[in-house]
Structure 1
Amino acid sequence: MADASILDTLPRPQTNRLSGKDHLALLEQMMRIRQFEIRAKELFLKGVIKGTAHSSVGQEAIAVGACHALEPRDFLLTHHRGHGHTLAKGADIGRMFAELMGKDEGYCGGIGGSMHIADFDLNILGANGIVGAGMGLGAGAALAAKLGGDGSVGIAFFGDGASNEGIFHEAMNLCALWNLPLIFFCENNQYGLTTATESVIAGKGIAARGDAYGIPNTVIDGNAPVAVFEAVEKAVLRARAGDGPTLIEAMTYRWDDHSMRANLEGYRSETEEAGWRDRDPIARQRALVLETGEVDASVLEALQESVTAAVEEAITWASDLPEPELASALQMVKVPRGKSNLPEPPPGTRSLTYKMAINEAFHQEMARDDTVILMGEDVGPVGGIFGTTTGLHAAFGPERVRDVPIAEGVLANCGVGAALRGFRPIIEIQLFDFVTLMMDAIVNQAAKARFMLGGKARVPIVFRGPQGAGIRLAAQHTQSLEMLFANVPGLEIYAPASAYDAKGLMAAAIRSDNPVVFLEHKLLYLGAETPVPEEPYEIAPGTARIVRPGRDCTVIATLAMVERAQQAAERLDKKGISVEIIDPRTIKPLDMKTILTSVRKTNRAVVVHEAPLFGGFGGEIAASIMEQAFDWLDAPVGRVGAPEMPVPYNDRLERDYMPDARDIATAIEATCYRS
């Protein structure tokens, strides 16, 4: 049982640290938050607020005490129960209600809702519906603060349940290693939904876990705003001095159920709830204000009336606002990319390998833009296991080229957090299979941040690494995973098949204001040198390349399959079949215009990819051809892909697994001879 008497065992705050005016300000803020939450729940029960929301009634002292210790330049990240934090940092009540009501004038345009409120002008970087995510994002924001030298510090609020997530440990380790100015603030409200915290926490408690990382930590009374203020002020001063993170565990209690939507019974006793209500943070602060003798009860009554009136006025204002339209919501998914009028430069006579071209793009973009940083495992002096980052550490130093622990979750989330704060991180995925350990950061954070935060955020980040089979690394190091991301709105997917395209597309990816998944094939690293211009250049995403003109069949292929398609076409030349090969170069955006123009000329099409057929991008292209060029087709669209199995280790079986020139030629012939 979560006995409220635990608060009586914690150190008493030094109330003389703050003036009477400060104490009154803390009380007023707590009243505002309490009244907001009470009315939000009532509106939810009436159906005015829909979906779900999570009340912070009972936890107001944490929000106001912590934010009272912050400066305007300081940032915070919060979680699904974050109304109090955002209000305490200065958020407008009316726009808060508007967002919960799904209105166009809400903080996120009615798109994000209760769990995703942000205000970048106030350095509120967003609430988050993924448990613990703010810690990884906060690490990135803190890295940006350190690199930018602006002196800001941040708080990542999280609940007791999040302390068991891997991101908690990964982020604390990274912040301790790099002395990042981030405060880890755990609101221990005794329950993760219905599970008692004490039943799922091993060891000496949440705060004590900081000892393993050399992070100062403390347990405080989370129902006393002065105690919270003192602990956060100390942590802020420490972080601002360059001494790194602090872990604070505040003992508190949520009065309501897990969410306004929940109606769960039987997991908390009446005695337990009554004990915590007796330690109401607002009642305690009210008594403290009266003890100062600077105001009397009538002043506090008038203050409560003023707060209540302000909340009602905000509700009235928000209720009359229009709702967003689908057309405007669609514009929030990605930052629009202007059309480039610059032609692609001629290849010239100087030659580079595929990986040398990628490396040159890194050098040129990092020299051009100081906000470009590179992070990954073994990307530093060693230059990466495939040599794509050679020389970068020497050229740009350890601040901008950072080796990270083997902790893909915080690596990716740290990159997203830094991107939200104006940097352009390149995140190397040592082998692309490890991207599965980054899925939250890529799919839930990077891809959705701009949209769910109302079109305000920019997330200029590149997730890159080698994928594909062909060098005998077995099933967990050789997958082709592009379609895991193709169905995620907000992401761009680049897949260069030549050194020329690799350099130009990498420059475009780094300069993009949207998150990019950049695929590099291991076999292409082993290819010969081919002509690549020395000067920096971009290739516009969504611009396909006609690799080889032809008249009888269009073949669409990417990455290592492009060369194999060329080999197949050369074989078929001898049989009088002329094959046109198109390399889309980017899977999202996809240049269907070039593909359709070719199909309308050849009247036949075959799509080739290395991944298994089922769910592969070939099905999407085939469907688009059938929908938009059906009248020109003389045969069904053919598809070539791997069998429905993981990649085998045995070298002969691996060769059999991967589509080759013979497989492609067979599919082209079958399509050409079928009518």
Structure 2
Amino acid sequence: MKNSGLARAARSTRGAPKTSGDAVAAAIIANGGSPHRLATRNAPKLDAAELKQLLRTMLVIRAFETRTTELFHSGLVKGTAHSSVGQEAVAAGAGYPLLRSDFIATHHRGHGHCIAKGADVSRMMAELLGRKDGICGGLGGSMHVADIGLNIIGANGIVGASMGLGIGAALAAKQRMSTDAGVAIFGDGGANEGIFHEALNMAAIWKLPIVFLCENNQYGLSTSFLESTAGGSVSARAAGYGVPGETIDGNDVVAVYAAVDEAIARARAGEGPTLIEAITYRHGDHSMRANLPGYREDEEVERWKAMDPINRCVSMMMERGALTDDEYEALVAETDAEIERAVEFARNSPEPDLESLAPAVSAPFKSTGVVEPAPGTRELTYLEALKEAMAQEMERDERVFVIGEDVGPIGGTFGVTRGLFQRFGKDRLMNTPISEMGIAGAAVGSAVCGRRPIAEIQIFDFVTFMMDMIVNQAAKLRYMLGGSPTVPVVFRGPQGGGIRLAAQHSQSLEAWFAHVPGLVVVAPSTPYDAKGLLIASIRDDNPVMFLEHKMLYLGQAAPVPETPYEIPLGKADVKREGTDVTVIATQVMVERALQAADMLARENISVEVIDPRTLRPLDMDCFIRSVKKTHRCVVVHEAWRTGGLGGEIAAQINERAFDWLDAPVERLGAMEVPMPYNDKLERAVIPNQNAIADAVRRVCYR
């Protein structure tokens, strides 16, 4: 279906005189809607062809949703789907002003929005049937329909996620210095998520080219809008952020078009975001699977059906002489036939196979073909090596930028970005509000749209605020979209204990991320590794969790080449050769393992020390080769043992090298308590070189 908005981008109704909307407002208030006056405009002078295009889009959406419901009840559409019947005017009106290069980000009820942006209905239907020819290869399903080629960056199953991804897409458009803009569509339930406030604030302070469009259908699943939203209005919140906000009649397709068209024009002109609340109503239940006990009065549903957006549009067009009965019947027949062809296409599409899954999870690592350079004699600290890696990549690739709290003039809490702001400016070192969800959303959304962000997490414990964007978005977007997009984002920052920051600022959380397919987890232990691995991470096409231990910031300088270089991701490093026992150690534990090896050498115990460097994927081949030589293994990390990475490494060694082991694999980690503040206790709960040496002795003399 051809994008209907290509000819509409220049039209603006800014400044159009207002007319009374009291009749519509009264009807909405009477039916449990938002108790405030609607903003209305004189209807734009759309000609008959333009109105027919809007009507046709609504009819396609209605036919698609109606047929999807039938297919769900017949068992062909599985899982669930969320129908937008009754809300077609929002999708059609909002999609009409958009260019192909403009973006949309939407939510779980997103079929109509994707259709209005030009998505292929046959491939959409195949996706709902879970077929190989689906728009996402049958891997995303109803809630995750997207088409990166059309800048549809996703329907999304996580409430409110469209706003986080949307500010990232808008940031990418602004960084490209284009006139592209876009719309983040969310429901009234999403307006009460924290990401709403973080995204609106960031968009306002940076004047991002985005329209926040709240599709207020009166219910968040079964909870009424009036019972869940203080103040009775979403759009009124715009005033708190200094941006325009208005509530419109979401069942009037021309009113939606007029409001979004004006807001998009503002965005293209560099005037920043607009918040629009479109009052509408879904005719059906929350989802096709819901089968919930009644939570809406039948009379209420019928009153809203009487304000059906398609019927209202048809009546208006006939009154204007822009549509005849025969023309309307022909449009209905045409759109019904289009959807039947889509169903037939979907039915005939093959099922995806297991072989399609793994390639969709992660983009392949790029082989540089370059051998790791010799360290040389020039020395840098760990912190300086990280800074040099970022500076060299920012010089090499204009798409690379840093985003995070306090990364500007002061250079971050630990000074890792110090000096970069003065060198590259505020557009490349983006100093943010304290907004972890917003930072993560902007990073992931901009990465999907072609940028290469480095998101600094000020203290890694704060990653808990970012988990949705990292685990549900960055790690899964490529997969849910059928393996087509890349998500080249690096999340980096300090973790671990040792400097008396207590329980909420000292955790080692790498196991969380190593558990998630789609993420790459990197943990360098030396300045040399830090530079080469960070450059490789920035250049990689996958989301990377780059873990920097705070104690390593305080370490001594070591040789680091001046020229840029990459250390291949997924490749471990043997830091010391040995014959009696293998010690696999991560981050700050690497140096302690080397110290333990020196102690044990005096006892004629030869220790081989291996640094995994990348924690997902693990270089198990390296570990297995070593264990087959030494026949013993100790795995040591600062994180707690329970559920930690040591257990995974030990399990795989048992699976692949059990016959070569002369003793069980020993695991060493922190005491199973949150990090204490007292310095003596903190040192006591973290493994040291003596504890590592004792573990080695146990496996050697058992």
| 1:108 matched residue in structure 2 | 136
Question: Displacement of 1:341 after TM fit?
Answer: 2.1
Equivalent runs, 1:192-341 vs 2, <5 Å: 192-341=220-369
C-alpha separation in 1, matches of 2:534 and 2:312: 58
Q: For 2:45, which of 13, 17, 42 is the aligned residue?
A: 17
- 2:115 matches 1:87: yes
Q: For 1:550, which of 578, 585, 588 is the aligned residue?
A: 578
Q: For 1:454, which of 459, 482, 485 is the aligned residue?
A: 482
Question: Displacement of 1:295 after TM fit?
Answer: 3.3
Question: Displacement of 1:205 after TM fit?
Answer: 1.2
Q: For 1:144, which of 160, 166, 172 is the aligned residue?
A: 172
Question: Retained in 2: the 8 A contact 1:374–1:425?
Answer: yes
Question: Retained in 2: the 8 A contact 1:359–1:389?
Answer: yes
Question: Displacement of 1:337 after TM fit?
Answer: 1.4
The Cα offsets for residues 249-308 of structure 1, whole Å up to 9 and x where unpaired, read as: 010000000000011122100110111001010000011111222431011112111111
Question: Retained in 2: the 8 A contact 1:14–1:226?
Answer: no
User: SS at 2:555's partner residue?
Assistant: coil
Question: Retained in 2: the 8 A contact 1:65–1:228?
Answer: yes
C-alpha separation in 2, matches of 1:601 and 1:281: 73
| 1:174 matched residue in structure 2 | 202
The Cα offsets for residues 90-116 of structure 1, whole Å up to 9 and x where unpaired, read as: 111111100000000000000000011
Question: Displacement of 1:12 after TM fit?
Answer: 4.7
Question: Retained in 2: the 8 A contact 1:77–1:156?
Answer: yes
| 2:633 matched residue in structure 1 | 605
| 2:597 matched residue in structure 1 | 569
User: SS at 2:315's partner residue?
Assistant: helix
> Where does the alignment leave 5 or more consecutive residues of structure 2 unmatched?
1-27
The Cα offsets for residues 29-86 of structure 1, whole Å up to 9 and x where unpaired, read as: 1111001100100100110000010000000000001111112221100000000000
C-alpha separation in 1, matches of 2:462 and 2:180: 33
Residue type at the aligned position of 2:493: G
The Cα offsets for residues 163-192 of structure 1, whole Å up to 9 and x where unpaired, read as: 110000000000000000000000110000
C-alpha separation in 2, matches of 1:176 and 1:496: 37
- 2:652 matches 1:624: yes
User: SS at 1:17's partner residue?
Assistant: coil
| 1:41 matched residue in structure 2 | 69
Residue type at the aligned position of 1:314: A
Question: Displacement of 1:653 after TM fit?
Answer: 0.4
C-alpha separation in 1, matches of 2:696 and 2:246: 68
The Cα offsets for residues 341-371 of structure 1, whole Å up to 9 and x where unpaired, read as: 2110000000010000000101101000000
- 2:213 matches 1:185: yes
Residue type at the aligned position of 1:113: G
Q: 1:202 to 1:600 in 2, by over 3 A?
A: same
Question: Retained in 2: the 8 A contact 1:112–1:453?
Answer: yes
Q: For 1:127, which of 152, 155, 161 is the aligned residue?
A: 155
| 1:501 matched residue in structure 2 | 529
Q: For 2:472, which of 410, 433, 444 is the aligned residue?
A: 444
| 1:477 matched residue in structure 2 | 505
| 2:379 matched residue in structure 1 | 351
| 2:30 matched residue in structure 1 | 3
Equivalent runs, 1:53-64 vs 2, <5 Å: 53-64=81-92
Residue type at the aligned position of 1:361: A
Residue type at the aligned position of 2:453: P
| 1:651 matched residue in structure 2 | 679
- 2:615 matches 1:587: yes
| 2:13 matched residue in structure 1 | none
| 2:388 matched residue in structure 1 | 360
Residue type at the aligned position of 1:569: A
TM-score normalised to the size of structure 1? Answer: 0.99
C-alpha separation in 2, matches of 1:648 and 1:2: 56
- Judge which range, 25-34 or 168-177, deviates more: 25-34
Residue type at the aligned position of 1:430: Q
Question: Displacement of 1:340 after TM fit?
Answer: 3.3
C-alpha separation in 1, matches of 2:37 and 2:86: 19
Question: Retained in 1: the 8 A contact 2:32–2:218?
Answer: no
Residue type at the aligned position of 2:413: I
C-alpha separation in 2, matches of 1:214 and 1:290: 41
Identical-pair percentage:
57
Question: Displacement of 1:329 after TM fit?
Answer: 1.6
| 1:71 matched residue in structure 2 | 99
| 2:698 matched residue in structure 1 | 670
Question: Retained in 2: the 8 A contact 1:2–1:272?
Answer: no
Residue type at the aligned position of 1:469: G
Question: Retained in 1: the 8 A contact 2:314–2:323?
Answer: no
Question: Retained in 1: the 8 A contact 2:453–2:490?
Answer: yes
C-alpha separation in 2, matches of 1:90 and 1:257: 26
Residue type at the aligned position of 2:557: E
The Cα offsets for residues 508-543 of structure 1, whole Å up to 9 and x where unpaired, read as: 000000000000011111011110001000000111
User: SS at 2:230's partner residue?
Assistant: coil
C-alpha separation in 1, matches of 2:29 and 2:465: 34
- 2:124 matches 1:96: yes
TM-score normalised to the size of structure 2? Answer: 0.95
Residue type at the aligned position of 1:256: G
- 2:642 matches 1:614: yes
User: SS at 1:628's partner residue?
Assistant: helix
Give the number of equivalent residue pairs.
674
C-alpha separation in 2, matches of 1:600 and 1:173: 56
C-alpha separation in 2, matches of 1:295 and 1:445: 44
C-alpha separation in 1, matches of 2:369 and 2:242: 53
User: SS at 1:331's partner residue?
Assistant: helix
C-alpha separation in 2, matches of 1:13 and 1:92: 32
Q: 1:477 to 1:11 in 2, by over 3 A?
A: closer
Q: For 2:563, which of 535, 555, 559 is the aligned residue?
A: 535
C-alpha separation in 2, matches of 1:514 and 1:5: 46
Residue type at the aligned position of 1:215: V
The Cα offsets for residues 597-630 of structure 1, whole Å up to 9 and x where unpaired, read as: 1111111000001011111111111111111111
C-alpha separation in 2, matches of 1:134 and 1:12: 26
C-alpha separation in 2, matches of 1:293 and 1:563: 82
User: SS at 1:576's partner residue?
Assistant: coil
C-alpha separation in 2, matches of 1:243 and 1:322: 47
Q: For 1:428, which of 456, 481, 486 is the aligned residue?
A: 456
Residue type at the aligned position of 1:123: N
C-alpha separation in 1, matches of 2:666 and 2:472: 34
- Judge which range, 542-551 or 498-507, deviates more: 542-551
Question: Retained in 2: the 8 A contact 1:354–1:499?
Answer: yes
Question: Retained in 2: the 8 A contact 1:603–1:632?
Answer: yes
Question: Displacement of 1:9 after TM fit?
Answer: 5.8
Question: Displacement of 1:673 after TM fit?
Answer: 0.6
Q: Which runs of 4+ in 1 moved over 4 A?
A: 5-9
C-alpha separation in 2, matches of 1:110 and 1:6: 37
